[in-house]
Structure 1
Amino acid sequence: MSHHFSAADLSRIIEMAWEDRTPFEAIEQLYGLSEPALIKLMRRELKAGSFRLWRARVSGRNTKHLKLRNPAISRAYCPTQYKR
């Protein structure tokens, strides 16, 4: 399944993928990208070194998978992450 995203959506997807507390399931719910599809998108959109850093960062990270996440964490991001 091929997805075509606007530049703004693509930027937001990449931002969410880098965020530690945004689970893959949230990206799938919002944009319809499964984890394997997101990995393909990241491989295509990032430079090779950046992709390797991202994969190393998210591989096995509990907060990127809802099933592995501590049930006490119900938010997708830190309350102080976004400035008001």
Structure 2
Amino acid sequence: MKGSAVVKKLTDSEVDRIVEMAWEDRTPFDAITAQFGISEAETIALMRNQMKPKSWRIWRARVQGRGTKHIAKRDFEVGRHKCSRQRAISFNKISKR
């Protein structure tokens, strides 16, 4: 896993983006796989290589078993949470005072 050919071919900016996506609680590992072609195990190995040991343990404890990091475990629809008035605000339907 650590020496995976796919992980070795990633640029620095791609590695930074994968680390950023892995830190986000609502971004599932499936999204990382779809975008970069690396598995959950490869993502975990990449995180282990990129982070300090203490930071990795904190991240791993937070991510392990988390429902939002695995599409099959999610109890909500895939998508973003947004306010019911967000569309109206985005299209300036509510007057500015």
Q: Which residue of 1 aligns with 2:31?
A: 26
Q: Unaligned stretches of 5+ in structure 1?
A: 80-84
State percent identity of aligned pairs: 45
**Deviation for aligned residue 1:73:** 2.8
* Separation of aligned partners in 1, 2:53 and 2:23: 15
Q: How do 1:1-16 residues align onto structure 2 when only pairs under 5 Å count?
A: 1-2=4-5, 3=7, 4-16=9-21
Q: Which residue of 2 aligns with 1:74?
A: 78
**Deviation for aligned residue 1:11:** 0.6
Structure 2: which amino acid aligns with 1:18? W
* Separation of aligned partners in 2, 1:57 and 1:78: 21
Q: TM (normalized to structure 1)?
A: 0.83
Q: TM (normalized to structure 2)?
A: 0.73
Bigger RCO of structures 1 and 2 (CA < 8 A, at least 6 apart)? 1
Q: Which residue of 2 aligns with 1:39?
A: 44
* Separation of aligned partners in 2, 1:6 and 1:31: 11
The structure number with the bigger radius of gyration is: 2
Higher helix share: 2
* Separation of aligned partners in 2, 1:19 and 1:78: 14
* Separation of aligned partners in 1, 2:81 and 2:26: 8
| Corresponding pairs, count | 78
